[in-house]
Amino acid sequence: MEQIWLGSHKEYSKGVPKGTKSTSSNFKPMNGWMHGAQMVAFNMQGYGKSLWMMHGMFRSNGSCGYVKKPRFLMDKGPHNEVFDPKVKLPVKENFKVRVYMGDGWRLDFSHTHFDTLFATDFYISWVPTDARKKKTKILEDDWCPIWDEEFNFPLTVPELALLRIEVREYDMSEKDDFGGQTCLPVSELRTGIRSVPLYDKKGQKMKSVRLLMRFNLCRHKSFFFSST
């Protein structure tokens, strides 16, 4: 892995799927990012989580398409070591996410899109790359759900963390319906209350669907003391 890390400082490399790969699923970008490979050109085969994560990462730096590598992927450590994503690191920041409510589905979708009873039930799942998947409660029969729930994500590598949000409409007997998604680079989020637009499966911004959220990033105490 050290060769990839060093090679990615000065050279381009080309990645191809395994010879045994028979599906056309998208490459998961986080593996490359963790090893310092930025992957400038991508051949995406369809929509889904990998594409949404690419959109999320490149929302950084004003969405200009150019995102600098974090310092720790360029510099060696005090003992000449390179960053190893498999090594368990101390928690650096606590990332708190509160979702107050969501709205806009009744404007962007027909009344029968989700449920035929003119009522619908939403929940959100969250996946920061540094933590496990978490979910809000399901709010039934509501086009304008008010969750008012908070989640805490301890982050060891906040520089690479992406907050992936997906809203789904719960169905007991079939697969839940997709209700919007977004992916946000955590390092660019500022503490405060935000109106967060959601995107469709292709990554097109929905006209009206929004979440009202609060983000709070604070440096973890133990990291603060050990680094001073």
* Residues lying near Ca ion in the complex (CB under 5 A): 114-115, 121, 171, 177
110 vs 228, beta carbon nearer Ca ion = 110
CB neighbourhood size of 138 (10 A): 16
Tell me how long the chain is.
228
Q: Which residues pair with 219 in a beta bridge?
A: 93
Burial class, 193, CB count within 10 angstroms (exposed 0-12 / middle 13-18 / buried 19+): exposed
159 vs 200, beta carbon nearer Ca ion = 200
Nearest-approach distance from CB 170 to Ca ion, in angstroms = 5
Q: Are 123 and 168 in contact (CB under 8 A)?
A: yes
114 vs 215, beta carbon nearer Ca ion = 114
45 vs 125, beta carbon nearer Ca ion = 125
Residue 163 CA: distances (Å) to CA of 100, 116, 215:
17, 32, 11
Nearest-approach distance from CB 167 to Ca ion, in angstroms = 13
Nearest-approach distance from CB 119 to Ca ion, in angstroms = 8
Nearest-approach distance from CB 142 to Ca ion, in angstroms = 11
